[in-house]
Amino acid sequence: MLQGHGDDAYCYKQEIIADFSTNVFYGGEPAGLKEHIFQQWQVLNKYPEVLAESLAQKISQHHQLHASNVLITNGTTESIYLIAQAYKNLQTTIAIPAFAEYEDACRMHHHQVQFVNQDAIHPNMQMDKGLFFLCNPNNPTGHVFPQLEALIKAHPETLFVIDEAFIEFTVGINSLISLINTCENVIVLRSLTKAYAIPGLRLGYIAAHARLIDTLLQCKMPWSVNAFAIAAGHYIFDHISGMQLPLERIFNDKEQLMQQLRQLSFTIDNSYTHYFLAKTPVGTARELKAYLIDHHRLLIRDASNFRGLTEQHFRIATLTKDKNELLIAALQEWIKHCS
C-alpha cells in the first residue's frame, strides 16, 4: 500500500492545524536531538556504516543482548519487507485488523496469506507452521496481548513476528525482547520514530536470535540507514533514561476525549494506547475525513482500508487538550451537517 496511510497532510492544499491521523508523539523530538543532528553535518561527507554496526552495539547493550541479536533498519517497514523476503513462499498468518504492510510485503514475496481475528488470539489456539505477524500493541485498535509469551512457547515450529512499534505508548504489556536468548522462534520489531517523533528519519531495529538475524542478513541491502538516522539513534540511547513519555497526562486526555465522543454517539473501542478506533454514527469515515479537512483543517485516519473494519471506522491519536477540543467542536458540526 503506497498510499492510504495516516499522516498524509502533504496531499492536501489546506494547511492542517491538528493531525489526529498519525500515532507519532505530539510533543516533538527529544530536547537536544535537533541540535545534535545539526552538529553532525560532516557525517554526510562519507558513507554511513554498512549495517549501522555501532548503533546495533549500543542498542544490544541497552537490552542486555549480544550485537549479533540486533539489526538496524530503515524504519519498521524495512523490517517487515526484509522478513517477508527472507522467508518467502511460506504459509503466513496475520492477526487483523493490522498494518497493511504485513500483507503487502508477504504477497510481494509469494506467501500463502491467511488471517485470524485478534480476538481469537490465545495460547491454546491452533497454529500453522510458517510466519505469524502480530502488532502488540495493535495498530489500529490499541489492544494488547498479554499472553504472547505462552503462545510463542506453545508453538515452537511457528516463527512469530511481533511488532512493538507502539510499546512505549502503553503500560499494559512488557516487551518480548527478553525472550530473544531463550526462544529461537520470535522476531521483535521496534521503532524509534513514534515515541521520539522522528518518522522522517526512518529508523528502527529487529531483535532476534543470532540464527534468525543471519538469515535476514542474506537479504539485507547495505547503507539502508542514513548517517543522520544513525546519529539520532546514538543520541536517543545515550539519553534514553530521560526520554519517558508523559503517559499519565496522555491517557487522562485520551479518556476525556473518548468520553466526549461517546456523548456525541460515536462508537469508541477501548484502547491501551494513546490512539483508538471510532465509528461515525452518520456518513462514512471517508466523508468525515474530507469534511474535517475542508471545513476545519483537521486530519483523521480513515480506517476503512484496514482488513476487518468497516467504512464507518476511523482512528484518532490523542493530541493536546486544546486540539482535542477543536476536534470535538468539529464533530458536533459534522453531526448537524449530516442531520
Confidence class for position 68, pLDDT limits 50, 70, 90: very high
Question: Which amino acid is present at 337?
Answer: H
What CATH number is given for 9-25+246-338 in this structure?
3.90.1150.10
Got the DSSP string for 210-271?
Answer: HHHHHHHHTTPPTT-S-HHHHHHHHHHHHSGGG----HHHHHHHHHHHHHHHHHTT-EE---
Give the span between the Cα atoms of 167 and 189, in whole angstroms: 10
Q: Is this model's pTM higher than 0.85 or not?
A: yes
Taking alpha carbons only, the member of 284, 254, 261, 255 closest to residue 332 is: 261
Residues 6 and 301: beta-carbon distance below 8 Å: yes
| Number of residues in the chain | 339
Give the span between the Cα atoms of 70 and 86, in whole angstroms: 16
Q: What per-residue confidence (pLDDT) applies to 249?
A: 96
Residue that has been written with the C-alpha cell 516487551 in this structure = 175
Position 11 pLDDT exceeds 80:
no
Q: What per-residue confidence (pLDDT) applies to 181?
A: 87
Confidence class for position 7, pLDDT limits 50, 70, 90: low
Position 159 pLDDT exceeds 90:
yes
Confidence class for position 88, pLDDT limits 50, 70, 90: very high
Q: Which pLDDT tens digit goes with each residue over 168-183?
A: 999 989 999 999 989 9
Give the span between the Cα atoms of 121 and 105, in whole angstroms: 22
Taking alpha carbons only, the member of 289, 281, 296 closest to residue 4 is: 289
Average pLDDT for 103-121:
95
* The two domains 9-25+246-338 and 33-242 share their CATH topology (first three levels equal): no
Domain ranges of the chain: 9-25+246-338, 33-242
- Lowest mean pLDDT across 3-7, 50-54, 200-204: 3-7
Residues 208 and 82: beta-carbon distance below 8 Å: no
What are the strands, taking DSSP E only, across 13-156? 18-19, 70-73, 91-96, 112-117, 130-135
3-class secondary structure, 99: coil
Give the span between the Cα atoms of 66 and 302, in whole angstroms: 41
3-class secondary structure, 106: helix
Q: What per-residue confidence (pLDDT) applies to 152?
A: 96
Q: What per-residue confidence (pLDDT) applies to 2?
A: 46
Average pLDDT for 156-177:
96
Q: What per-residue confidence (pLDDT) applies to 141?
A: 96
Question: Which amino acid is present at 338?
Answer: C
Give the span between the Cα atoms of 271 and 269, in whole angstroms: 6
Residues 265 and 280: beta-carbon distance below 8 Å: no
pLDDT, averaged across the chain: 94
Q: What per-residue confidence (pLDDT) applies to 3?
A: 47
Percent of the chain with pLDDT over 70: 98
Position 148 pLDDT exceeds 50:
yes
By CB atoms closer than 10 A (0-12, 13-18, 19+), residue 193 is buried
Position 1 pLDDT exceeds 60:
no
What CATH number is given for 33-242 in this structure?
3.40.640.10
Percent of the chain with pLDDT over 90: 90
Q: Which pLDDT tens digit goes with each residue over 181-229?
A: 899 999 999 999 999 999 999 999 999 999 999 999 999 999 999 999 9
Average pLDDT for 75-90:
97
C-alpha cell at 2: 503506497
